[in-house]
Amino acid sequence: MLGPVLLTAARSDRLRRLVSAAPVTRPVVDRFVAGETLPDALAAVRALAADGIEVTLDHLGEDITSAAQATATRDAYLRLLEALAAERLGPRAEVSVKLSAFGQALPTGGEELALEGARRVAEAARAAGTTVTLDMEDHTTVDSTLGVLAELRREYPETGAVLQSYLFRTEDDARALATGGSRVRLVKGAYKEPASVAHQDKAEVDRAYVRCLKILMAGGGYPMIGSHDPRLITIAQELAVRHGRKPGDYEFQMLYGIRVDEQHRLAESGHRVRAYIPYGGDWYGYFMRRLAERPANLTFFLRSFV
Ligand SMILES: Cc1cc2nc3c(=O)[nH]c(=O)nc-3n(C[C@H](O)[C@H](O)[C@H](O)COP(=O)(O)OP(=O)(O)OC[C@H]3O[C@@H](n4cnc5c(N)ncnc54)[C@H](O)[C@@H]3O)c2cc1C
């Protein structure tokens, strides 16, 4: 019951101001967010790289409301990629972008603006020896995001996609994207979606995940298993063997600060593992989605709040 309430709260500006300003929030947020600044993010990249874990970096922000904010997001990514290139971290660190932070939802020309911004980031990523993955947001944005992906892939075929197994449409999208060279991160999905478009039952979401994973593992692309779920991780390993994929023909991805021991265990046993590192000041929406996923996180948060 709490999950949907928290996911609604994740979009409330009033709560955003309240929670973001509360000093006690910080230590809880630090568990999920690498810090507010670029040096904080780079320190996290170096620490994980030393343990054989690759990363994808997310400069926090979403649902922006002006073209100036879209430009600021793009510039933050360009500075990040410049820093990764300077430290030669490109081969270990890619970037994840949310198109809503690039202006996708702006009423006039939003999608074109987001495409332009993402194209500049893809160009800088290639120069740094790395790649971009387009995060997937709520269901109203899926067609637009896949459209931007298709445009970007004309010039930058290495651009990664994200598919969410809770959406009814995703098996079809998985089939369309399971082609040679196509990098696809499969996740369960983190937004509050209506029953008209998405499975509501967790077991259904898991079953759909396995169906989509089978399609991606059987196809010619590069599956990225974005989940902490032990059962799905085991199934992914079995499917990889069945389809003759070796470690390096697919990868596991987990969020910064979640199931860290498992991230290390997989990396130590020879798997390719990538941690998703969020950083920046606009952590509220990301943080609330992590609370919604696990009631124990909320208890921890409320205890420190009280
Ligand atoms: C690398 C990566 C990128 C992602 N990108 C997107 C995206 O672009 N779009 C999108 O909609 N969603 C994205 N997600 C989030 C995803 O959709 C899920 O909401 C999230 O991963 C939880 O689902 P799960 O597969 O881990 O399974 P769950 O069944 O939720 O969790 C399985 C187990 O993992 C642990 N766990 C899971 N979440 C937490 C948490 N918050 N705190 C502590 N423990 C936890 C618990 O031990 C839990 O029992 C991403 C997830 C990952 C890992």
In a domain, 218, yes or no: yes
CB-ligand 1 contact for 96 (6 Å cutoff): no
* Calculated CA dihedral for residues 129, 164, 7, 159, nearest 10 degrees: 20
d(CA 267, CA 254): 12
> Whose CA is closest to 162, among 130, 143, 186?
186
CB-ligand 1 contact for 210 (6 Å cutoff): no
In a domain, 24, yes or no: no
Handedness of CA 190, 84, 271, 213 (dihedral sign): positive
User: What ranges in the chain are assigned the alpha helix state H?
Assistant: 2-9, 13-21, 25-29, 38-50, 67-86, 110-127, 142-155, 170-177, 202-218, 230-242, 260-268, 284-293, 295-305
In a domain, 145, yes or no: yes
Contact assessment for residue 32 and residue 257, using Cβ atoms and an 8 Å cutoff: yes
Is 135 an active-site residue?
yes
Contact assessment for residue 257 and residue 290, using Cβ atoms and an 8 Å cutoff: no
Instruction: pLDDT tens for the chain, 306 residues: list them.
Output: 678 888 888 888 887 887 777 776 777 888 899 999 999 999 999 999 999 999 999 999 888 999 999 999 999 999 999 999 999 999 999 999 999 999 999 999 999 999 999 999 999 999 999 999 999 999 999 999 999 999 999 999 999 999 999 999 999 999 999 999 999 999 999 999 999 999 999 999 999 999 999 999 999 999 999 999 999 999 999 999 999 999 899 999 999 999 999 999 999 999 999 999 999 999 998 998 998 888 788 777 777 666
d(CA 20, CA 286): 12
User: Which ligand 1 atom minimizes the distance to the CA of 166?
Assistant: 17
* pLDDT tens column, 145-180: 999 999 999 999 999 999 999 999 999 999 999 999
Q: How many domains does the chain have?
A: 1
In a domain, 216, yes or no: yes
d(CA 134, CA 150): 11
pLDDT at 227: 98
Element at 132 (helix H, strand E)? strand 132-134
What CATH number is given to the structural domain containing 259? 3.20.20.220
Range of the domain at 250: 34-282
In a domain, 14, yes or no: no
In a domain, 13, yes or no: no
Find where tokens 């637009």 sit.
Answer: 144
pLDDT at 297: 80
pLDDT at 294: 85
One-letter amino acid of 31? R
pTM summary value = 0.95
Which three-class secondary structure state does DSSP give residue 138?
Answer: coil
Which three-class secondary structure state does DSSP give residue 195?
Answer: coil
* Residue 197 CA to ligand 1 centre (angstroms): 20
In a domain, 150, yes or no: yes
In a domain, 7, yes or no: no
Active-site entry in 185, 272, 289, 290? 185
Active-site entry in 92, 119, 135, 206? 135
199: left (phi over 0), alpha (psi -120 to 50) or beta: beta
